């Protein structure tokens, strides 16, 4: 069977599993991997499937420990306290209020690499505040969805780049600054574009009161787990060779343990169970992505896609990236990163890969709003009580197009941007 036929089989099986059989994305990727191996005459190569399954074990450990930490600070009252303190201190003007709300919604996604974590934690917490500005439900849902997706690709954890980097053996190092400079301003500007007309008419003092009473029983000691996390993340970069680098999994574990001693009492075991249960679908996707990457390498499909990408004129390649990544991301952003993102970045090996991978991750993330799946928009619609998720998708079209254009420009001018920023 030729490579182009194998590509057709891969896409057909994956789409059938997701859209027809309604299987989870992770399981669909695993089934696609097995079907592709059989179609290529490799039988059922269990060794390759298992190797691929554990290809992202390091990323999975980061996600699991980060989600446990999120559950800990949710249970001990730190997340609620952080939300109230930030909005009370900085929410004195409409622009400042929207910027702070955006950063708060982004926070869980930035820590865990999962936009679902943002929607279901800080998104739920702040939905009444957004609705209290007399925003229509679909606008409030759109703000939550967009900020959550930007949180997913914000530093310190960007799984899309990790997947793309894993496909070309590029370490996840040196991305924090470029992600911070690109993602955070885009997120804040998107929220302002969507919600400023409502925020400027709102009673901001009353909105802050809607957050309820925060836990002040231990004063600022409640912030100790978050301070510990920040110190352990920044220390090795600020003092290389002097400050030991515990890496992210141990950092989040230490932060979780510290959360036991401040704020409300809670069960760490139960918090860990809840965190692992919520992040398991993402872990399953990563396992499926690893399996598929292993099999498309084994069967030659990866090389075929890479060579095909390299043979395209630059304008067609950029157009293909702008269209195919968001479309495929509508089914799975992580799947788009593995199946398309890896071959695409291979076409730009001669330029700054940090900036290029950042641009690709920005474009792929916009697929979170592409029907028919549009999972982030669907969950956000449930949070704000909007029956038709497509009403949330509609106001996100223009901000998404702007993000895609910026991502393309980053790829086109990766070297000048890299020299300027990095």
Instruction: Give the tens place of pLDDT for each residue, 352-411.
Output: 999 999 999 999 999 999 886 787 898 899 899 898 889 999 999 999 999 999 999 999
Does residue 115 contact residue 244 with C-beta atoms inside 8 Å? no
Provide mean pLDDT across the span 241-270: 91
Contact predicate 365/149, CB 8 Å:
yes
pLDDT in tens, 124-154: 888 988 988 889 999 999 999 999 999 999 9
Q: Is the pLDDT of residue 210 over 70?
A: no
- Highest mean pLDDT (candidates 20-34, 123-137, 185-199, 234-248): 185-199
Contact 253, 50 (CB under 8 A): no
Residue 329 binned pLDDT confidence (cut-offs 50, 70, 90):
confident
The token pair that represents 348 in the structure block: 């730009």
Domain encompassing residue 394: 3-421
**From CA 366, how far away is CA 33, in angstroms rounded?**
25
Is pLDDT of 214 > 60? no
Give residues with Cβ within 8 angstroms of 382, minimum separation 6. Answer: none
Residue 211 pLDDT grade (very low, low, confident, very high; cuts 50, 70, 90): low
- Evaluate whether 66 touches 248 at the Cβ level (below 8 Å): yes
Q: What is the pLDDT of residue 328?
A: 81
Percent with pLDDT over 90 in the chain: 47
pLDDT recorded at residue 334: 85
pTM of the entire predicted model:
0.84
Q: For position 213, what pLDDT does the model report?
A: 53
pLDDT band at 337 (very low <50, low <70, confident <90, very high): confident
Q: Is residue 306 pLDDT above 80, yes or no?
A: no
Q: Are 236 and 242 in contact (CB under 8 A)?
A: no
The model's confidence at residue 104, banded by pLDDT at 50, 70 and 90, is very high
- How is residue 219 annotated by DSSP? G
The structural domain count of the chain equals 1
Q: What pLDDT, on a 0 to 100 scale, did the predictor assign at position 216?
A: 52
Judged against a pLDDT cut of 90, whether residue 312 lies above it is answered with: no
Question: Is there a contact between 80 and 268 (Cβ–Cβ < 8 Å)?
Answer: no
Position 319 pLDDT exceeds 80: yes
Does position 209 have pLDDT exceeding 70, yes or no? no
Report residue 221's pLDDT band, with 50, 70 and 90 as the boundaries. confident
Q: Roughly what angle, to the nearest 10 degrees, separates helices 353-365 and 397-412?
A: 160
pLDDT number for residue 387: 85
pLDDT value at 218 more than 70: no
Is residue 189's pLDDT more than 60?
yes
Q: So what's the pLDDT on residue 103?
A: 94
* Residue 191 reports pLDDT greater than 90: yes
Residue 334's closest CA among 28, 130, 19, 5?
28
The whole-number pLDDT of residue 63 equals 84
Mean pLDDT of 247-272: 91
**How far apart (Å, rounded) are the C-alpha atoms in residues 69 and 130?**
26
């Amino acid at each position: 069977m030729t490579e182009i036929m194998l590509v057709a089989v891969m896409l057909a099986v994956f789409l059938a599993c997701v859209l027809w059989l309604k299987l989870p994305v992770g399981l669909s990727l695993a089934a696609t991997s097995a079907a592709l191996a059989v179609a290529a005459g490799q039988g059922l190569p269990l060794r390759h499937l298992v190797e691929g399954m554990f290809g992202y074990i390091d990323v999975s450990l980061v996600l699991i420990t980060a989600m446990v930490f999120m559950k800990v600070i949710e249970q001990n009252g730190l997340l609620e306290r952080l939300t109230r303190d930030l909005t009370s201190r900085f929410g004195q003007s409409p622009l400042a209020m929207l910027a702070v709300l955006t950063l708060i919604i982004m926070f869980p996604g930035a820590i865990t690499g999962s936009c679902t974590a943002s929607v279901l934690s800080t998104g739920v917490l702040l939905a009444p505040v957004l609705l209290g500005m007399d925003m229509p439900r679909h606008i409030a849902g759109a703000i939550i969805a967009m900020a959550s997706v930007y949180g997913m690709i914000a530093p310190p954890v960007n799984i899309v780049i990790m997947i793309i980097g894993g496909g070309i053996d590029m370490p996840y190092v040196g991305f924090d600054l470029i992600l911070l400079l690109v993602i955070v301003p885009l997120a804040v500007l998107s929220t302002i574009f969507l919600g400023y007309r409502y925020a400027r008419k709102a009673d901001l003092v009353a909105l802050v009161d809607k957050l309820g009473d925060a836990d002040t029983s231990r004063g600022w000691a409640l912030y100790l787990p978050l301070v510990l996390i920040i110190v352990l993340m920044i220390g090795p970069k600020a003092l290389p060779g002097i400050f030991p680098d515990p890496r992210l999994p141990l950092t989040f574990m230490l932060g979780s343990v510290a959360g036991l001693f401040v704020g409300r009492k809670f069960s760490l075991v139960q918090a860990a169970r809840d965190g692992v249960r919520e992040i398991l679908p993402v872990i399953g996707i990563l396992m499926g992505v690893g399996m598929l990457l292993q099999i498309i390498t084994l069967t030659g499909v990866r090389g075929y896609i890479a060579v095909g990408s390299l043979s395209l004129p630059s304008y067609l390649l950029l157009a293909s990236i702008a269209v195919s990544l968001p479309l495929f991301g509508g089914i799975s952003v992580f799947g788009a990163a593995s199946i398309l993102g890896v071959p695409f970045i291979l076409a730009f090996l001669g330029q700054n890969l940090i900036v290029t991978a950042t641009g690709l991750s920005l474009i792929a993330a916009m697929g979170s709003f592409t029907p028919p799946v549009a999972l982030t928009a669907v969950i956000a619609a449930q949070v704000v009580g909007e029956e038709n998720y497509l009403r949330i998708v509609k106001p996100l079209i223009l901000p998404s197009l702007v993000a895609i254009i910026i991502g393309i420009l980053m790829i086109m001018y990766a070297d000048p941007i890299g020299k300027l920023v990095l």
